């Protein structure tokens, strides 16, 4: 454990870095000591979008396994195309931001 005295301006800057990054004070200080640039936490919407794309990808993998095993139906292929288009649209949305 290390104790550090900070003047008000330094304390406020440290608080801002914690708020921006979403990290606790100890993590921010460790990153600063290591020379890592503190970056802004991604917005919640972006995290939600990643989670949704991950779920769609899981569905695509299940259909692909089924197709590789020789059990895929035409409905599975339609769903696969729909899901792939959904991912394309979501990625376009991310690219616009």
Domain containing 62 equals 44-96
**Tally of domains within the chain:** 2
Residues 9-28: tens digit of each pLDDT: 999 999 999 999 999 999 99
Res 26: pLDDT: 95
Res 8: pLDDT: 97
pTM passes above 0.85: no
Res 67: pLDDT: 87
Residue 71 carries which DSSP code?
-
Residues 44-94: tens digit of each pLDDT: 888 888 898 899 889 989 988 988 898 888 898 899 889 889 888 888 887
Domain match, 36 and 67 both: no
Domain match, 37 and 52 both: no
Measured distance CA(30)–CA(18) in Å, rounded: 12
Domain match, 32 and 10 both: yes
Res 95: pLDDT: 80
């Amino acid at each position: 454990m290390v104790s550090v005295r900070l003047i008000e301006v330094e304390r406020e800057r440290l608080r801002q870095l914690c708020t921006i990054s979403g990290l606790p004070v100890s993590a921010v200080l460790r990153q600063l000591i290591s020379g890592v640039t503190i970056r802004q936490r991604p917005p919640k919407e972006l995290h939600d979008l990643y989670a949704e794309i991950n779920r769609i990808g899981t569905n695509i993998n299940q259909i692909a396994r089924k197709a590789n095993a020789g059990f895929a139906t035409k409905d599975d292929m339609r769903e696969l195309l729909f899901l792939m288009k959904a991912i394309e649209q979501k990625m376009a949305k991310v690219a616009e931001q």
